[in-house]
């Protein structure tokens, strides 16, 4: 066995390696090897069973020789090897257990023969340019328990042809339907099912609820419609991750979450859901991420969710929530873990309650004081799972051959190890979309240390609470488009980790506190359209922002604004000379100029062209004759010509 994986080795692979005739395992993955290597080099290793070249900078070339002189391998991993076709010698590899050809440049159809390997357990063809799957799929009796085809161009109907499958990833393709439609009855042992970012449509089939061991279900970014099956909530005893975001689902969020609910990640963002947040959601005591944004929910602030002590992320933006966000004292819990709260674009009003802000303990922890906060949110999916039942139809001896020798007596632990460690699929690292630094941002992996508060586009009023200034861990704060008044607290300098601050479109007054210049991580700041006055504090960070961060505050002066300050420190703009004292209202002037120009288009031809004047006069006279009964036409002759004119009728 020769395992050099996971180092920084570079250059070409030495040809002397292929002279080690007794090698049964050769792993060179995750290095910096480069150059070109021909697959026929492994002919010289007759005992080779495991060959791993993945994730280098190699170009692997297939010589298209289907000779039987290749060794019979169990594990072949050639991810990121710039392959442009399926290696031809694979047709004769009857002992394959694990095949990984992901992240290559393979085009065309997945050949039918690849499904006929009797021993194949794991197949990864993700991130290629595959467009179809060759059938037929009937009576294949595949032993696959892991199939990953995500990130291709597959379209049409998605076939389900193996009942043993435990991990299935069809995401990021263009599938539109299932064969057969009752997918849940076809793969009862599925544990993780990714179908996101396709073109699936119609209602969510209730057979999804028949998947006994299902831990993760991701149907996001499709065109599913209708209501959410109530059984998905009531059968949440095993389900830990449920993502239905980015569809066209309507109706209510099911109020059928049971006391045995295990959900840790619930994403229903971007649908057409209405009604209220179900009270039974408090039964999900392990919930960490709740995303209900961009729906039509009509409700008050969900104080009852304080009972979920594990909640870290709550997104309610772009709904119809209303009222105050103060929670009555009878509500227990304190949201100690909350790190991201987004309630923007609703109809919340009133003051930001001090008691509520003081309960968000996680935002008060300084990163320098709590190094354990670094890392990503992730959810173990295989805890408390009976792997023997899940893989009851899979030969355990085959599983044991996927890695180094493992005693069959420990196969229960080993299967979990294979799923979590070898394939890296036992833990789910979630993603949510938030608005940060003025732009919509998708957090593909939520950092435990990342914190954000977004109260924008509501009707909050009163002073900015001093309690906000104790959130030392805060990275992004957005209070814009509200009715906050009073001064900007000087204690804003306590937020040493702040990267984005938006206080625009409020009624804040007074001077900008000098402490703002000490926030060294601040990269986005917007104080525009308030009633701020005085000199903009000088400091490296403040002067890096453009004038648009301060516009709409007539009393501000100093760089980066062009408005000059007076001689004294903190003074407002210096008075202008009397000849320039009156400023021009360009918006009013533009209206006047537009009216003048439009009016001129009509009047100028009447002044300059006689024919237009005569035509215009005739039309006006005809209109007046019809609407004013006292007027009548009188005909006269002057200079040999006959003229018509209007005259008032004599009584």
Q: Give the per-residue pLDDT at 430.
A: 52
Nearest to 149 by CA among 182, 121, 119, 172: 172
| Mean pLDDT score, 257-267 | 91
Backbone dihedral angles phi then psi of residue 115, each to the nearest 5 degrees: -85, -5
Please tell me the least confidently modeled range out of 151-165, 288-302, 583-597, 605-619: 583-597
Instruction: Give the residue ranges of DSSP H helices in 103-193.
Output: 183-186
**Sequence-distant (≥ 6) Cβ neighbours of residue 601 within 8 angstroms:** none
Q: Where are the domains of the chain?
A: 1-105, 603-648
Q: What is the dihedral of CA 311, 314, 320, 323, to 10 degrees?
A: 60
Q: Which two tokens stand for residue 240?
A: 């830990």
Going by pLDDT thresholds of 50, 70 and 90, the confidence category of residue 409 is very low
The per-residue pLDDT for 425 is 44
Render pLDDT for 445-490 as a digit per residue (tens, 0 to 9).
Answer: 445 567 899 999 999 999 999 999 999 989 999 999 999 999 999 9
Amino acid 63: pLDDT: 76
Distance of alpha carbon 404 from alpha carbon 487, whole angstroms: 66
Report the interhelical angle of 586-608 vs 610-627 (nearest 10°): 100
Parallel, antiparallel, or unpaired: how do β-strands 531-535 and 507-510 relate? parallel
Model confidence at 56: pLDDT above 90: yes
Q: What is the pLDDT of residues 57-78, one digit of tens each?
A: 999 998 766 656 889 999 999 9
Distance CA(203)–CA(223), nearest Å, equals 9
- Per-residue confidence band for 625, with pLDDT thresholds at 50, 70 and 90: low
Query: Which residue in 269, 219, 224 sits closest to 241, CA to CA?
Result: 219
Q: What is the pLDDT of residue 180?
A: 83
Whole-structure pTM value = 0.79
The rounded distance, in Å, linking the Cα atoms of 535 and 512 is 8
Residue 639: what pLDDT?
Answer: 52
Residue pLDDT, tens place only, 271-297:
999 999 999 999 999 999 999 999 999
Phi (first) and psi of residue 74, to 5 degrees? -100, -35
**Across 19-28, 179-188, 384-393, least confident range:** 384-393
71 touches 97 (CB < 8 A)? no
The candidate with the shortest Cα–Cα distance to 163, out of 388, 381, 392, 422, is: 392
């Amino acid at each position: 066995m020769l395992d050099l994986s996971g180092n920084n080795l570079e250059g070409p692979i030495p040809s002397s390696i292929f002279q080690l005739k007794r090698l049964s395992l050769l792993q060179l993955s995750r290095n910096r090897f480069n150059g070109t290597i021909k697959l026929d080099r492994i002919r010289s290793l007759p005992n080779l069973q495991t060959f791993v070249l993945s994730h280098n900078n190699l170009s692997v070339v297939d010589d298209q020789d289907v000779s039987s002189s290749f060794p019979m391998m169990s594990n072949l991993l050639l991810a990121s090897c710039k392959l442009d076709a399926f290696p031809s010698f694979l047709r004769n590899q009857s002992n394959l257990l694990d095949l990984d050809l992901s992240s290559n440049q393979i085009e065309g159809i997945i050949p039918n023969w690849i499904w006929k390997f009797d021993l194949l357990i794991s197949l990864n063809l993700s991130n290629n340019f595959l467009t179809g799957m060759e059938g037929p799929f009937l009576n294949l009796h595949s032993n696959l328990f892991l199939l990953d085809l995500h990130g291709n161009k597959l379209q049409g109907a998605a076939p389900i042809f193996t009942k043993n499958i435990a991990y299935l990833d069809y995401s990021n393709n263009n599938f539109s339907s299932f064969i057969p439609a009752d997918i849940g009855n076809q793969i009862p042992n599925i544990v993780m099912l990714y179908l996101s970012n396709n073109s699936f449509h119609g209602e969510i089939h209730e057979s999804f609820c028949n998947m006994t061991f299902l831990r993760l279900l991701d149907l996001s970014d499709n065109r599913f419609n209708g209501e959410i099956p109530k059984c998905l909530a009531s059968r949440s005893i095993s389900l830990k991750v449920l993502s239905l975001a980015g569809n066209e689902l309507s109706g209510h969020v099911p109020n059928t979450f049971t006391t045995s609910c295990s959900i840790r990640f619930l994403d229903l963002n971007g649908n057409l859901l209405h009604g209220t947040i179900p009270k039974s959601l408090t039964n999900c005591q392990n919930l960490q991420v709740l995303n209900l944004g961009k729906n039509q929910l009509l409700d008050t602030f969900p104080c009852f969710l304080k009972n979920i002590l594990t909640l870290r992320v709550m997104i309610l933006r772009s709904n119809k929530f209303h009222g105050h966000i103060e929670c009555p004292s009878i509500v227990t819990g304190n949201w100690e873990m909350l790190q991201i709260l987004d309630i923007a674009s609703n109809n919340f009003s009133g003051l930001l309650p001090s008691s509520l802000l003081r309960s968000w303990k996680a935002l008060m922890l300084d990163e320098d004081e709590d190094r354990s906060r670094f890392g990503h949110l992730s959810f173990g999916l295989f805890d408390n799972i009976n792997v023997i039942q899940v893989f009851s139809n899979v030969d355990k001896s085959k599983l044991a051959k996927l890695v180094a020798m493992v005693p069959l007596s420990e196969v229960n632990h080993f299967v979990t190890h294979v799923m979590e460690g070898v394939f890296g699929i036992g833990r789910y690292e979630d993603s949510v979309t938030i608005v940060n630094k003025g732009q919509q941002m998708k957090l593909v992996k939520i950092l435990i240390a990342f914190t954000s508060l977004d109260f924008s586009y509501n009707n909050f009023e009163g002073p900015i609470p001093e309690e906000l200034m104790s959130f030392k861990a805060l990275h992004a704060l957005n209070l814009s488009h509200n009715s906050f008044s009073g001064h900007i607290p000087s204690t804003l300098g306590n937020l040493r980790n702040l990267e984005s601050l938006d206080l625009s479109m409020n009624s804040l007054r007074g001077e900008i506190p000098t402490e703002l210049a000490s926030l060294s991580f601040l990269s986005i700041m917007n104080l525009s359209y308030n009633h701020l006055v005085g000199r903009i504090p000088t400091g490296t960070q403040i002067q890096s922002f453009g004038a648009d961060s301060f516009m709409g505050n007539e009393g501000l002066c100093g760089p980066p604004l062009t408005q000059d300050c007076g001689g004294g420190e903190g003074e407002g703009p210096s008075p202008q000379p009397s000849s320039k004292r009156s400023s021009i209202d360009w918006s009013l002037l533009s209206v006047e100029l537009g009216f003048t120009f439009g009016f001129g288009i009509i009047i100028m031809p009447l002044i300059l062209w006689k024919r237009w004047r005569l035509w215009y006069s005739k039309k006006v006279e005809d209109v007046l004759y019809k609407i004013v009964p006292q007027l009548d036409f009188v005909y006269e002759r002057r200079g040999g010509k006959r003229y018509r004119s209007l005259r008032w009728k004599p009584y």
